[in-house]
Structure 1
Amino acid sequence: MPTRAEPFGSPSHALRLATVVALIGVAGGLSGLGLAALLHAIQHLAYGYDPETLFNGESFLDGVKAASAARRVGVLTVCGLLAGIGWWAVFRWCKPLVSISRAVNGPEPRMPVVATVCHALLQIVTVALGSPLGREVAPREVAAMLAARLCSYARLPADETKILVACDAGAGLAAVYNVPLAGALYVLEGLLLSFSWRALVPAILTSVVAALIARIGLGNLPQYNVPHYAATPSLVVWSAIAGPLFGLAAVLFTRLTSSARAQAPHGVALPVLCLLNFVFIGLLATQFPILLGNGKGPAQVGFDGSIGLQLAAILLVLRILITWTSLRAGAAGGLLTPGLCNGALLGIVLGGVWSMLWPGTPVGAFAMIGATAFLAASMRVPLTALALILEFTQPSQEFLIPMLIAVAGSVLAAECARRVLPAPETVVGPMPGTAQK
């Protein structure tokens, strides 16, 4: 803590603060890069596709499709064993986990090192093996834990420490997905609920530094290859009509996942349920290999328009089912990409029906609008959701018009629904680390 001889805002304090900001940006970038490299390496090893395409070339979906049905079931069985035994051991022997939201908003910003690292590694390993949950929470947790330690060593006050912990969580997100703008906005809109200069400047700096470092190994490519769709009159009208539907669907999805998390076991039932759950997912993957992973595969084929309405509807139901069963069994992970995937698939379903009345709009355009609107309402961070899709897909500027219309309708409907529908007894955040609003 700064002393009276070294007051807040003094040159030495400012120097320490600037140094810590730079270091936590580096920490966020290295955590994102390291965990992404581990994820890709495990995917290539588990499904046996070319190790020379570790960071580019052959996708996870290509590798899964090339693997035999027996190999998919075997890999998911291993995933269930690792998930069940791993998380049971974490709950049994490690210190209690501290979420990013609790670290930022609670009295103590520090997160336990061993428990946090084990929790993050288990998320990365299980997602790499085929878990339907997201991988974005792991680098955010590790980065936030490192930020708290660095702030403690630098003797920064508690209020600055909490800001920088949130900033490094956003930096981890920026690094793993190459989304510096979304990473900074997530800090301000999702964690700190503030756009003050004290939060804005370090949020931007740490996310930019982290993304630049991660690009050294991961490259500077968008997460999804998407054509530049036009903002047709049909799409604009559909966005206004469908936006509220995405908001209602997002509320139901977050209530479903919150309930699953609240009821997840922490005792001896956890290994058994995890094993059963992932074997079940492996059996489904013998017929639908695209189900495996965090949802990037279905989102990609949705965005590029290479999937039909019927398959999209089937995948939507199955993705929601296995996301629920995985959380209910005790597995952990994010809901960013799963939510984006659900929104894209729902967009194809609703857009396919709309095209029967007003044809002419590519199905991929509906998927992109749906993903944005669903993500904005489920995460309750509309600016972050817009930035994510912009950085993920790099659409044309005119495409912002239907995106903004759909997001506005979705967020408004979701907030109204949350006030009308009874809340579950135990509320767990729709995205781990996101502050409740």
Structure 2
Amino acid sequence: MISVPDRTPLAKIPLNRLAIIALIIGIGTGLFVAALKLSTIWVERVVYGADHLHNQNQIAQTSPLRLAITLVILGFVSSWAWFFVHRPSRRSSHGPASKAENGDQNGDQASPTEVSVVGAMRGEKMPFYRTVVSAFLQSITVAAGAPVGAENAPRIAGSWVAEKFSSSLQLDLEAKRILVAAAAGAGLGASFHLPLAGVLFTLEVLLAEATTRAVVISIITTAAAVATTGYFVDTPDVYNAVSLTESPGIMLAAPIVGAIAGLGGHWFSRAANKAAAAAPKGSKILWQMPLGFAGIAAVAYLYPTSVANPRWVADTMLSGGLVFSVIILLLVLRTVLFLVAFRVGMVGGNLIPAFALGALVGGGVGKLLEPLTGVPVAAFALLGAAAFLAATMAAPLFGLIAAVEFTDMEPQGYLSIFVAVAAAIIVVRLWLVITQGKQAIPVTYASWTGELK
């Protein structure tokens, strides 16, 4: 823990002053996220001639050959970009510095720890170059076709704004911890226009507390960030609305698909954790990432839908639009490509990919059980998406609220979503008790983004 002398303790800072600080940080976060989103849109238009605001599957008009060549080039260019971002800082020879600043002193890849959200919450300084370049690099690579999620970039963007601003005001470590966490959640909320989910991400995942100060600061920061980003960048359409009710069929389907998707999400998170842990160190990334993306390109050439925007995949499942064989093929291919990308050193998130995989799992279960339950496949897909996401991120409240906000769900559908997510978490807990003797579900969402270092 870093000692910070002569700074005002959080308990002595008036809540109204903290609210003003949170508002300023939220606006700064919103501006940073807007810049990230605009860069994403620009890259999508340059590379594919379409962007996700107007076409959920922006690669639809791209030939398989061009798509494959694009991914090969992306792997080569990204390998050099991440190599330079992860290089140990030369400033380490001039005095002590945190590991987050300098990286591994043995020359190993620093991974994303140099821009860690949790590291900033602990008082570590987030370097300007590494943080800004990493955030934009993540957004650009995902826009160009990397099969990973883009939500890690806005999280570190928000945490960087909060860390710098709170340090300039010489706030104590506890105040900085809450402000950094609130800004990280605000960045996520602003990126996807999920204000409530952004607040819950802060409280449930990062802070694991719900004090009055934490709640107020999180709400103000997220509201300011979402509003600011929305002013500069159009909000993409939400997913297809799915009609959920409290009918016996849906209430029976909810725990079944929740349990299956929950286990799937847990196993997916463990596999992603292992893939990231085995990511190349140092100069190894210069050949492993191009090689891995050559493999991704080969799969994309043969089956372009395997690298289609996960928003399109989820939205298609929420309209029940895929046959069972295609669901299984997409589920396998997209999971493998996601893991390969992390294994070869790509940095990103998992929110939208996990939501899409959960929709595929739920839709697959629905194809089998629809004749017995009378519940539409789209309902199974939504229940599966919420349960899978909640288990993947070990955040049940965040998972279910994200599903609600993504689809503009009507209140009569809340209960079935609650049941599905509860079933997912309970089954995962039982699985861990049986197989490992563990009583608690580990927070795994950040294991492969470097936020638990």
For the criterion TM > 0.5, the same-fold answer is yes
Query: For 1:146-171, what per-residue CA distance to the aligned partner results, in whole angstroms no more than 9, with x for missing partners?
Result: 11010010111110001000000011
Aligned to 1:290: 305
Contact kept, 8 Å, 1:22 with 1:206, in 2: the verdict is: yes
- 2:354 is aligned with what amino acid? G
Distance 1:138 1:115 in 2: 12
Distance 2:449 2:353 in 1: 16
Query: For 1:118-164, what per-residue CA distance to the aligned partner results, in whole angstroms no more than 9, with x for missing partners?
Result: 22222111101111111000011011011101001011111000100
Match of 1:65 among 60, 63, 70: 60
Which residues of 2 match residues 21-420 of structure 1 at below 5 A?
A: 21-49=22-50, 56-59=53-56, 61=57, 63-94=58-89, 95-96=102-103, 97-104=114-121, 106=122, 108-220=123-235, 222-292=237-307, 295-358=310-373, 360-420=374-434
Query: For 1:250-299, what per-residue CA distance to the aligned partner results, in whole angstroms no more than 9, with x for missing partners?
Result: 22111111111111112222121211222222222223322225622211
Contact kept, 8 Å, 2:242 with 2:382, in 1: the verdict is: no
> RMSD across aligned C-alpha pairs, in angstroms?
2.4
Q: CA deviation at 1:222?
A: 4.3
- 1:397 is aligned with what amino acid? P
Query: For 1:189-231, what per-residue CA distance to the aligned partner results, in whole angstroms no more than 9, with x for missing partners?
Result: 0000000012110001111111111111333454323343445
- 2:37 is aligned with what amino acid? A
Answer with 21-30 or 412-421: which moved more: 412-421
Contact kept, 8 Å, 2:245 with 2:416, in 1: the verdict is: no
- 1:323 is aligned with what amino acid? F
Query: For 1:56-80, what per-residue CA distance to the aligned partner results, in whole angstroms no more than 9, with x for missing partners?
Result: 3233x1x311111121012111210
- 2:74 is aligned with what amino acid? C
Distance 1:423 1:293 in 2: 39
Distance 2:74 2:166 in 1: 36
Contact kept, 8 Å, 1:17 with 1:156, in 2: the verdict is: no
Distance 1:274 1:423 in 2: 37
Distance 2:25 2:181 in 1: 11
Distance 2:178 2:139 in 1: 26
- Cα–Cα, structure 1 residues 217 and 289, in superposed 2: closer, same or farther, change >3 Å? farther
Q: CA deviation at 1:183?
A: 0.4
Query: For 1:87-137, what per-residue CA distance to the aligned partner results, in whole angstroms no more than 9, with x for missing partners?
Result: 111122543314212332x3x242222112222222111101111111000
Answer with 211-220 or 118-127: which moved more: 211-220
Distance 1:113 1:405 in 2: 44
- SS for the counterpart of 1:365 is helix
Distance 1:7 1:40 in 2: 42
Contact kept, 8 Å, 2:356 with 2:385, in 1: the verdict is: yes
Aligned length: 423
- Cα–Cα, structure 1 residues 227 and 244, in superposed 2: closer, same or farther, change >3 Å? closer
Distance 2:395 2:240 in 1: 24
If the length of structure 2 is used for normalisation, what is the TM-score? 0.87
Q: CA deviation at 1:340?
A: 0.8
Contact kept, 8 Å, 1:258 with 1:428, in 2: the verdict is: no
- Cα–Cα, structure 1 residues 293 and 124, in superposed 2: closer, same or farther, change >3 Å? farther
Distance 1:407 1:329 in 2: 32
- SS for the counterpart of 1:223 is coil
- SS for the counterpart of 1:65 is coil
Answer with 301-310 or 286-295: which moved more: 286-295
Contact kept, 8 Å, 1:346 with 1:370, in 2: the verdict is: yes
